[in-house]
Structure 1
Amino acid sequence: MNATMRRIDQVTNILAPLAVGQVMTLASNVVGCGFILGWNLVSLIVEFFFLSRVYRIVPALSVKPPVVEEDQVYLQRMERSPQEVMDEIALSRTSGEENVAQPQPLTEGNCNTSLHLKEITDLPLCFRRFRWLVSTCKDGWRAYYRQPVFLAGMGLAFLYTTVLGFDCITTGYAYTQGISGSLLSLLMGVSAITGLMGTVMFTRLRKTYGLVNTGIISSCLHLGCLLLCVCSVFAPGSPMDLSLLMPYFTSNSSAELGGMVSQRQKHTYPLRGGSNQPLLPDRSSIHWTNNTVLFDNVPSGTAPESYISIILLFLGVITARIGLWSFDLTVTQLLQENICESERGVVNGVQSSMNYLMDLLHFIMVISAPQPQHFGILVIISVLFITTGHTMYFLYAHKAKRKRRLDT
């Protein structure tokens, strides 16, 4: 089922750019934006209908999980004022609501509990809610950490810290290397096809080698394809200029290195951020056409001296999608099969939070190194993060296989 849903997702990734591209080509970008807006509104209605249908078909979804009595009492007391809570405690002691036929001795534990409760109720409501939120996050992380698939989940999260995907960062870099929008759309469709191949490969590998071994094979394939991206950093046509990050070089050395690199990156857009030049051209120097944005200071029809670097980059990104989606399905399946139902929602919530946190980290990386000359460094850092993630999975696979041998 996971593979089938992912195939549907990849097919939509193939069809959606083609449909929107045709609308923008035949009409305009404004009409294309309106088309996307209308499509999302219609999809929202359809999604709400199907979710409601699933909710009605599965009665267990309408049953709330049992709440621990102590947590329920704490939540109720958190909603009330400290004076109301203390009045309730005093009333229960005098009216005998809590079986006070014989008064309980004042022990150190009871005293500590009373002091702790008084300390909580004395806090303002906002601080009490924040304390409860921190406690919830801590409990969720503990539940996530003690799972046997913890390393596999963390490995998947590390894969989100990368610029090697078809997002706005990679496409923006491709534009600076002279790649047209139509070619990028074609490459996106090809990458979706390779992702579709990854879902097919996952099902076949799982039937043949098992789930854990499928993850190992997918990891090796993913890393092997990304080596092409590392090679693209040092290939002819790469705009990487390390002198921009090492100002402590002598001026002569920097001038020599800058002269060598400038001969290789005549095709890059002048996006240098300095004291006298903005990071992007002034808006007044931009021609806003129907489908493209043209800069005055970039001659039309300029081509890089060598396309080897950008070809290796996209070849690695596209082929790596096969191993990436197969690995993603493997970890998703492991999380579903090895986590008990009572903790599945909490663990999946923490897993999603870690994925988004690592995704945020890769945007921070781009903010720290925004120029096209820095993209090669971001590629290397991304490969290091991905290698760390797959190493975590290898450790999980080793532990899982050792445990299986001991059990047998």
Structure 2
Amino acid sequence: MEGDAETRVLLSNENHEEAPPLPRSMVVSLYLGYFLARWGARTWEFSVALYMIYLWPNSLFLTAMYGAVESGSTAIFGPVVGQMIDGMSYVKVLRIWLVTQNLSFIVAGGSIVALLLVPDLKSHNFHLFATLIVLTNLSGALGVLSTLAGTILVERDWVVVMSDGHPPEVLTNMNAVIRSIDLSSKLMSPVITGMIVSFVSLEASAITFAAWATVTVWIEYWLFNAVYKGVPAIVQSDERRRLRMSQPQREKTDITSPLLQKTGEDGTRSKRSGNMRIFEKISESSFIGAWRNYLGQEIVLPGIALALLFFTVLSYGTLMTATLEWQGIPTYIIGLGRGVSASIGLAATVVYPIVQSRLSPLRTGLWSFWIQWICLLLCVGSIWAAKQATQSYMLMAGVATSRLGLWMFDLAVIQQMQDLVPEPDRCVVGGVQNSLQAALDLMANLLGIIVSDPQDFWILVLFSFGTTSLAGVLYTVHLYRIRKHIFHLDKLPMLNNRFGS
């Protein structure tokens, strides 16, 4: 089965005429625009946990509530976002993505500034306090949804289109660079934010964030628009999208007209029940259609395994960041720890192309996953550490070292999706994948609401390790189903000599 998939990829590459070299200036513009967009998103991702734990000390409630709203909106609307992207021109997607993302972050940053400038607002005017919290949650969630649109457009579509017709390593290297840009933002933005918070103030960090979103939206649009106009393959792909959008409409019109006539004639004879109509409308909805498309893909098990890794607190997300802050770890240390974690993740973008060229995306995913799992054992061990400071640093070390395997696994699964998902389905499948990831992230945040006492964080650690283990089992089953074996025992020298003698 994997051989068939690899054959299809090779035939697909052979059937395309060799594409002209990619203009270096366009590739640089793509990377720079993506960096600016990801910096803003990663800064908000880190900062919001600090804001929420400050506004409601000694509880993870506000932090987990924000995470639940953000993840829930992505889980519900993720497939719809994917289908919307697939039904729009690239230029329209760019405008909606960049304007909505940055405007939402400006509103969220402004709300946070208002909350921080009046520290006792919760006790004096709780209704205004709650209104600003709701506004922060909704605008932040909208910003993340629009960020999802940009992620799907760049990572799942443009990178594949730009590398089409080139040797396979071009796509592998572009994936690695895109991921390294994201991880560089994850590395540096928390360090800088942590420095501003520690040595200036929380208010200054929120104002800086809002100002960044205001300025960069114009630069990002200029850069991405230049890429669109400067790469013929993207323009041609956009034309194919427009053609696909027009065809279903014409077919629907041709089919519906006679049906309407027949319904008019036989309307009194055949009337279906209201429940049946509701069921049909639901089954024909874009949400259900997107999920049906996703579940029919060959890469569904790797996709589910990757999504399960989002049901975790074992990352420098909002819950772990807020817990470390509660445990007394200085903000700049948390920022540095997140930076070290991202640095190790950056190493994965260098190691992955080397390993993948010697194995395959499928087998690289297997080895990288279980490397990650072994590193996370240190987080489980931190539960039984005697001192709280030791627990915190063991937790941070386990999470940081596991990022090498995690991001290699992420790259392996993404490349399998790029290779095996047909072009018309890429945006839809990408939307559902992000929706599934957000749904499991939502479950982690809901668990954080239930277990909101930071002293009980160990319960969340065990849950997270359990879902990670389940993800590993699913991916291993997928590999065995395709390869009919897990290890190449005959390629291990010691075993080969033993069985050969």
**TM-score between the two structures when normalised by the length of structure 1:** 0.67
Shift of 1:160: 0.3
Equivalent in the alignment of 2:210:
37
Equivalent in the alignment of 2:184:
11
How many residue pairs were aligned?
A: 306
Q: Which runs of 5+ in 1 are unaligned?
A: 78-84, 94-110, 238-303
Is the CA contact (8 Å cut-off) linking 1:55 and 1:61 kept in structure 2?
no
2:390 counterpart of 1:308: yes
**Aligned equivalents of 1:71, 1:138: Cα separation in 2:** 21
Letter of the 2:400 partner, please give it. Answer: I
* Bigger radius of gyration among the two: 1
**Aligned equivalents of 1:132, 1:175: Cα separation in 2:** 45
Of 362, 376, 395, the residue aligned with 1:212 is 362
More helix by share: 2
**Aligned equivalents of 2:303, 2:396: Cα separation in 1:** 27
Equivalent in the alignment of 2:435:
353
Is the CA contact (8 Å cut-off) linking 2:198 and 2:331 kept in structure 1?
no
Of stretches 43-52 and 322-331 in structure 1, the one that deviates more from structure 2 is 43-52
Of stretches 56-65 and 325-334 in structure 1, the one that deviates more from structure 2 is 56-65
2:350 counterpart of 1:170: no
Show the 5 A alignment for 1:322-401: 322-401=404-483
Is the CA contact (8 Å cut-off) linking 2:290 and 2:432 kept in structure 1?
yes
**Aligned equivalents of 1:9, 1:211: Cα separation in 2:** 20
**Aligned equivalents of 1:320, 1:112: Cα separation in 2:** 63
2:367 counterpart of 1:195: no
**Aligned equivalents of 1:114, 1:214: Cα separation in 2:** 60
Equivalent in the alignment of 2:248:
68
Show the 5 A alignment for 1:127-138: 131=281, 135-138=285-288
**Aligned equivalents of 1:112, 1:214: Cα separation in 2:** 59
Is the CA contact (8 Å cut-off) linking 1:17 and 1:185 kept in structure 2?
yes
Identity of aligned residues (%): 28
Shift of 1:92: 9.0
Equivalent in the alignment of 1:146:
296
Is the CA contact (8 Å cut-off) linking 1:24 and 1:32 kept in structure 2?
yes
- Report the 3-state secondary structure (helix = DSSP H, G, I; strand = E; otherwise coil) of the residue aligned with 2:484: helix
Shift of 1:319: 0.4
**Aligned equivalents of 2:175, 2:381: Cα separation in 1:** 34
**Aligned equivalents of 1:323, 1:14: Cα separation in 2:** 17
**Aligned equivalents of 1:381, 1:75: Cα separation in 2:** 51
Is the CA contact (8 Å cut-off) linking 1:143 and 1:347 kept in structure 2?
yes
Equivalent in the alignment of 2:167:
none
Q: C-alpha deviations, 1:167-190, integer Å up to 9, x for none?
A: 121122112322111211211111
Q: What CA RMSD, in Å, does the superposition of the two structures yield over aligned residues?
A: 3.3
Shift of 1:54: 3.6
Letter of the 2:471 partner, please give it. Answer: G
**TM-score between the two structures when normalised by the length of structure 2:** 0.55
Shift of 1:396: 1.4
Q: Which runs of 5+ in 2 are unaligned?
A: 1-173, 487-501
Q: C-alpha deviations, 1:131-174, integer Å up to 9, x for none?
A: 26863222222221121111000000100000011112112211
Is the CA contact (8 Å cut-off) linking 2:282 and 2:288 kept in structure 1?
no
Is the CA contact (8 Å cut-off) linking 2:193 and 2:335 kept in structure 1?
no
2:110 counterpart of 1:28: no
Is the CA contact (8 Å cut-off) linking 2:194 and 2:331 kept in structure 1?
no
Letter of the 1:322 partner, please give it. Answer: L
2:261 counterpart of 1:89: yes
- Report the 3-state secondary structure (helix = DSSP H, G, I; strand = E; otherwise coil) of the residue aligned with 2:285: helix
**Aligned equivalents of 1:333, 1:391: Cα separation in 2:** 20
Of stretches 209-218 and 43-52 in structure 1, the one that deviates more from structure 2 is 43-52
Q: Aligned pair in 2 of structure 1 residues 142, 133: CA closer, same or farther (>3 Å)?
A: closer
Is the CA contact (8 Å cut-off) linking 1:158 and 1:385 kept in structure 2?
yes
- Report the 3-state secondary structure (helix = DSSP H, G, I; strand = E; otherwise coil) of the residue aligned with 1:358: helix
Is the CA contact (8 Å cut-off) linking 2:312 and 2:467 kept in structure 1?
yes
**Aligned equivalents of 2:294, 2:182: Cα separation in 1:** 27
Shift of 1:377: 1.1
Letter of the 1:138 partner, please give it. Answer: I
Q: Aligned pair in 2 of structure 1 residues 47, 324: CA closer, same or farther (>3 Å)?
A: same
Q: C-alpha deviations, 1:308-344, integer Å up to 9, x for none?
A: 3222211111101111111111111111001111222
Shift of 1:375: 0.9
Q: Aligned pair in 2 of structure 1 residues 47, 132: CA closer, same or farther (>3 Å)?
A: farther
- Report the 3-state secondary structure (helix = DSSP H, G, I; strand = E; otherwise coil) of the residue aligned with 1:143: helix
Of 231, 234, 245, the residue aligned with 2:381 is 231
Shift of 1:352: 1.2
Shift of 1:214: 0.7
**Aligned equivalents of 1:219, 1:161: Cα separation in 2:** 15
Q: Aligned pair in 2 of structure 1 residues 70, 139: CA closer, same or farther (>3 Å)?
A: farther
Shift of 1:70: 8.5
Shift of 1:48: 2.1
Of stretches 141-150 and 162-171 in structure 1, the one that deviates more from structure 2 is 141-150
Shift of 1:235: 2.2
**Aligned equivalents of 1:71, 1:378: Cα separation in 2:** 51
Shift of 1:71: 6.8
**Aligned equivalents of 2:199, 2:256: Cα separation in 1:** 60
Q: Aligned pair in 2 of structure 1 residues 76, 350: CA closer, same or farther (>3 Å)?
A: farther
Q: Aligned pair in 2 of structure 1 residues 342, 191: CA closer, same or farther (>3 Å)?
A: same
- Report the 3-state secondary structure (helix = DSSP H, G, I; strand = E; otherwise coil) of the residue aligned with 1:68: helix
Of stretches 223-232 and 134-143 in structure 1, the one that deviates more from structure 2 is 134-143
Q: Aligned pair in 2 of structure 1 residues 114, 348: CA closer, same or farther (>3 Å)?
A: farther
